[in-house]
Amino acid sequence: MAESIRMSIVLPASPKEIYEGWLNSKTHAKFTGGSEAKIDARINGKFTAWDGYISGTTLELEPDHRIVQTWRTTDFPEDAADSRLEVILEKVDKGTKMTLIHTQFPPDQMEEYRSGWEEFYFQPMRTYFKG
C-alpha cells in the first residue's frame, strides 16, 4: 500500500507570493534556507532543489492555487518510481494555508520525508515570510 503525508501550515503571505516563490529558482532557494534550486516553471518543466537532492517534473499548475509535481530524492532506490507532490494554497484570515500532499514514495522513507518537510520547508518558510 502506498504511503502518504498530508501536512499544512499557515504562512503570512498571499497565495500568489507562495505560488510564484515555489516556482522561482531564486525565491525557492531563499525560502528553503539557501540551497540551490533550478526550476523551469511550466507544465512538463523539470526542477531540482536542495542542491540536486530533490528533482522532478511539474505536471499541473493552477495559478495561485495548486501545483502538482513528480518528486524524488537521491535517496530513492534506483528502481523506485517517482513520488507525487501536490501543493494546495488557500487564502485564510492570517495569510495562506499551504497543504502538502506527498504520495507514492518508498514506504520506509515516510518519517524521513515528514520530518524533512517540517525542517527544510516549513521552518525556513515561516522565517522567510515573516519578513
* pLDDT of res. 107: 78
Tell me the domain boundaries of the chain: 4-130
2 confidence band (pLDDT: 50, 70, 90):
low
Question: Hey, what's the cell of 86?
Answer: 501536490
The top-level CATH class assigned to 4-130 is alpha beta
pLDDT, tens only, 32-64: 887 899 999 999 999 999 999 999 999 999 999
pTM: 0.93
Dihedral class, residue 104 (left if φ above 0, else alpha if ψ from -120 to 50, else beta): left
CA distance 100 to 114: 10
Question: Hey, what's the cell of 64?
Answer: 495561485
